[in-house]
Amino acid sequence: MSDVVPIRTAIISVSDKMGIVDLAMGLRLAGVRILSTGGTRSHLEKSGIEVEDVSEYTGFPEMLDGRLKTLHPRIFGGILAKRDDPDHMETIDEYDIAPIDLIVVNLYPFGATAARPGATRDEIVEQIDIGGPSLVRAAAKNHAHVAVATSSEQYGDLLAALESEGGTDIELRRRLAHEAFEHTAAYDRGIADYLSGESMLRDFPPTIHLEYRRKATLRYGENPHQRAAVYGDPRVRTANLVAARQISGKELSYNNLLDLDAALEIVRGLTSPAASVIKHNNPCGAASADKLALACSKALAGDPLSAFGSVLGFNRTVDLATAEVLCEPGLFIEAIVAPEFEAAAVGLLTSKPRWRENVRLLQVGRLDEPAPTIQRRFISGGVLVQDADNLASVPLQWETVTDNDVPDALWDDLAFGWEMVRHVKSNAIVLAKNASLIGVGAGQMSRVDSVGIAIEKAGDRAAGSILASDAFFPFADSISAAADAGIRAIIQPGGSRRDDEVIDACDRHGLAMVMTGRRHFRH
């Protein structure tokens, strides 16, 4: 016996009417009887498609301002009846119930309404769909005999099956049923989150339900033998990589996405035009300036050797002047993320340099909305959840703890260095000068090793710079190394039992030290 179920009767009731006219027209051309409700029925009739009002079929009018429309035995009996069960078929025949072979339903826009600024509670509650999820669940339960569509992306498959086979086969119905239950589960989760007053982006409820939707499969993961894919969180509305539009370049890799995310987070926190240069998920250069092109030049100069094959982030539209900096000889860029790209900049980046065919350009839109305030990190057996380390720094709460005062000219560099060090893997040390990152020591087991690496990277430029440390100095040895390199001021959280020794070392070497009282570990 064939598992193809002909489509003779369908119910169409949709909130999102994209593509519905084409689907209904295809169904009618195939001789399918269409039952519909309210706005959907009017929309189809205006397009010249013959439909039958559900109320006429059930003999029961819509009521309660449309809250009650499809919840009727003549509807649900036709959906739930098992076609291969003689008792079921005898029962629906006795009560003049037509078997319903296709349900096309998408749900009231609850999530969009709840997210709309100024929406009242009554408006939001009215978008809790009752009949729609009931229709979808009933059809999905009886997918052995009934097909269900919850998205316009599925309409093409339905019409193709109708044309080629005269109906739907079990493989298609099973897939549609799976997608239907995913759809209603996510819908109900959004309602539950709203009614509980808890947002997964802000709070720590007793239970969290994470929903991610696959955006793409990747060529491989961190290494070629690892499979990989990227999934998006549909609740995140701020600018982000998963929702970005790639306007040029080859396919993104797993490592590209990690580095682009790091690049974006650095520039997101800076108010002046800024650029970041990322290599292996750590910044090897970053700078701010009054013009983006200048910030770009300064950032690339932070560590020119490491900048080769790097990923860049910008917090302003990439203009032609910035693109010209990026096209200078000897530079190779893997990917660039920015709010927007000028057309002239895109033309130059994709035509002039030798790497023109490879560079990935990603637009994420405006960065003026705050980033998500919750971070999640998966570990074996579960997930760690924490507040993001994105609180704005408050220089007025910083304390100069040395006898040596900070020269006025260095305060901006201290603020810039303190902003940068939160983005570097611990133990983290950065050297900054003229609002530019000139040396980075990242991910070392010893803080003094990180200091040495940062000073080595900066070279002669270390003279006159500032040093920022993500956590306290456990010993005074790093202070001597900083003084020997010509560093003039240090910013760190403080909190060590040897703080007095470290402060005394600064005073002996003529260094100024500021303590912030806030640590920036990044593991």
**Strands (E) located in 213-364:** 213-218, 228-232, 245-248, 274-279, 282-288, 310-314, 333-338, 360-363
Q: How far is the C-alpha of 132 from the C-alpha of 427, rounded, in Å?
A: 54
24-62 per-position pLDDT tens digit: 888 888 888 888 887 788 888 888 888 888 777 776 666
| Residues 6+ positions from 303 with CB-CB distance below 8 Å | 277, 279, 284, 285, 439, 440, 457
**Domain boundaries in the chain?**
5-196, 241-363, 395-515
pLDDT for residue 1 = 42
DSSP 62: -
Q: What is the mean pLDDT of the chain?
A: 87
Mean pLDDT on 430-458: 94
pLDDT for residue 465 = 96
pLDDT for residue 199 = 47
Q: Which of 111-115, 416-420, 446-450, 506-510 has the lowest average pLDDT?
A: 111-115
Superfamily of domain 5-196: Methylglyoxal synthase-like domain (3.40.50.1380)
Q: How many CA atoms lie within 13 A of 417 on its CB side?
A: 31
> Looking at the predicted structure, is the pLDDT value of residue 160 above 50?
yes
> Looking at the predicted structure, is the pLDDT value of residue 211 above 60?
yes
Mean pLDDT on 328-333: 89
Mean pLDDT on 119-142: 83
What sign for the dihedral angle of Cα 245, 250, 256, 259?
negative
> Looking at the predicted structure, is the pLDDT value of residue 143 above 80?
yes
pLDDT for residue 472 = 92
Torsion of Cα atoms, 140 then 142 then 143 then 144, to 10°: 170
Residues forming a β-bridge with 395: none
Return the structure tokens found at 298: 């300064």
> Looking at the predicted structure, is the pLDDT value of residue 200 above 50?
no
pLDDT for residue 121 = 77
Asked whether the beta carbons of 284 and 278 are under 8 A apart, the reply is yes
Q: How far is the C-alpha of 480 from the C-alpha of 499, rounded, in Å?
A: 15
Q: Do 395-515 and 241-363 fall under one CATH topology?
A: yes
pLDDT for residue 201 = 46
227-282 per-position pLDDT tens digit: 999 998 877 778 888 989 999 988 899 999 999 999 999 999 899 999 999 999 99
Q: How far is the C-alpha of 112 from the C-alpha of 193, rounded, in Å?
A: 14
pLDDT for residue 156 = 87
**Strands (E) located in 42-155:** 52-53, 102-106, 147-149
Q: 501 by DSSP, 3-state: which?
A: helix
Residue with tokens 């096309």: 104
Q: How confident is the model at residue 108 (pLDDT cuts 50, 70, 90)?
A: confident
H/E element, 167: strand 167-168
CATH topology for 395-515 is Cytidine Deaminase; domain 2 (3.40.140)
CATH class of 241-363: alpha beta
* Distance, C-alpha 105 to centroid of its chain: 27
Phi and psi of 292, rounded to 5°?
A: -65, -40
Give the ranges where 375-435 is alpha helix by DSSP (H). 411-421
> Looking at the predicted structure, is the pLDDT value of residue 198 above 60?
no
397-440 per-position pLDDT tens digit: 899 999 999 999 999 999 999 999 999 998 999 999 999 999 99
Q: Which of 9-18, 186-195, 345-354 has the lowest average pLDDT?
A: 186-195
pLDDT for residue 153 = 86
Active site residues: 141, 280
Mean pLDDT on 468-494: 93
pLDDT for residue 73 = 76
pLDDT for residue 404 = 92
| Residues 6+ positions from 168 with CB-CB distance below 8 Å | 4, 5, 7, 101, 102, 147, 158, 161, 162, 176
163-173 per-position pLDDT tens digit: 888 888 888 99
Residue with tokens 């339903």: 105
